[in-house]
Each structure stands twice: as C-alpha cells, then as structure tokens.
Amino acid sequence: MQRLLVLVRHGQSEGNAGGVFTGWNNPALTSRGVDEAEAVARALKGTQFDIAFTSALKRAEETVRVILQCLNQDELPVVTSADLNERHYGQLTGVTKQEACRLWGEDHVKAWQRSYSMAPPGGESLHDTLARVLPYYLTRILPHILRGEKTLIVAHGNSLRALIMSLERISSERITTLEIPTGSAFSYRLNADGTIKHGTSL
C-alpha cells in the first residue's frame, strides 16, 4: 500500500503578480500560473490519483483542473473546502506589500507575514490557519490516504505551510523560514499511522 499524498501550491495568480496580499480575495491564474500548473502535471506524469482536494478559491480550483486535464484524469472526484483556503489577511487583503509597509511599517508587516502566532489586523496568524486546516486534513483527507488512495491537495502558501508544519513536525520557530513558491509540489509516502515514511520536492 503506497499511501501517497501530493501537495501543490497553486500557480501564480493575478494577485501574486501584482505583489498583493491576496488572502481570501479570488483572482484567477495568470498565463504564467497556468504554465506552472502544467509543469507540476509533467512532474506527476504516470501518477494515477484516486481523489483530489482543493480550496474554495479560484486560483487553486483552476490549478487542480489544469493538472488533472494534463494527466487525462478529468473525471477524478475533486472535493472543495474553504478549510483549505489561504490564510485570511484581514486589513492587509488587497493591499500591495509596498503599501502595507508604508501604512504599518516594514517590521510589522514582516512579522505578520512570517510569524507563527502574530496575525495582521482582523486576519489570521499561521497558528489560526493550522487550527482550521489540520482538523480537516485529519478527519476528511487522511482516511483516504490510509486506505491506500493516492491523494492530491492543491492549496495555498500558508495553508500548505501549516499542513507541512504538522506533517514534518517543524517547530514554530523554524516554520518562519519555510517559503513555498507558486507552482511548488511535494510528494509524501505515509506510514500506517499517518506519519511520513518518505518525502520529497517535485
């Protein structure tokens, strides 16, 4: 039994291209984002998935659709949940990073971006994001993997950072250094207890 889990960050969105704190805003992929999704599909060539999960945001939904089309797996069941959404950026949502630094100060903005426990005004910290992502993963996704179903998750930089933090048992101090560029993919083989047997970047 393989117990395969593949995590993918969506391709570049219009928000990423504009240097904007996108959060729960809902921009589409750019042409580069589509190219990034196609590149992930090429890296996954030969993998036959049994189920896929994605967030309720367009950029992730478009990415999973492109990947599955390229793999000729258009009919694969795709489960959508807002629990996999990007971190909510509160008052930073829709603001460029340059403008945010002008309004709140570069030190505050950097702390909100990278810290585990600090949240931007009206938004979520990485800790808050983990608090919604992890229960969903444990109750809705992990059972499929433990049954031997090859599982694909397409989500976002911070929702994936939160999940990887739990899977790889990364400390709250070290997680501040983990960056996941758009179009990144990670492959894990899990043990029968859900812990990682082997993991690699694609």
pLDDT tens digits, residue range 113-143?
989 999 999 999 999 999 999 999 999 999 9
pTM of the model: 0.96
Q: Is the pLDDT of residue 2 over 90?
A: no
CA–CA separation, 133 vs 142, rounded Å? Answer: 12
> Domain residues of the chain, as ranges?
4-201
CA–CA separation, 192 vs 183, rounded Å? Answer: 29
- Asked if 106 is an active-site residue, the reply is no
Amino acid 101: pLDDT: 96
Q: 9 near 195, Cβ under 8 Å? A: no
Residue of 36, 86, 144, 156 with catalytic role: 86
Angle at 89 between CA 162 and CA 95, to 5 degrees: 135
Per-residue pLDDT tens over the stretch 28-45 = 999 999 999 999 999 999
Cβ burial 138-162 (10 Å sphere, 16+ → b, else e): eeebbebbbeebbbbbbbbbbbbbb
Tokens at residue 153, please? 């998750």
pLDDT band at 1 (very low <50, low <70, confident <90, very high): confident
User: Angle at which helices 106-114 and 97-104 pack, to 10 degrees?
Assistant: 120
- Asked if 86 is an active-site residue, the reply is yes
Amino acid 135: pLDDT: 98
CA–CA separation, 54 vs 11, rounded Å? Answer: 13
Residue of 10, 88, 144, 156 with catalytic role: 10
Residue type, 73: Q
- Of 89, 105, 90, 106, residue with least CA distance to 157: 89
Amino acid 87: pLDDT: 97
- Sign of the torsion angle spanned by Cα atoms 178, 67, 51, 44: negative
CATH number, span 4-201? 3.40.50.1240
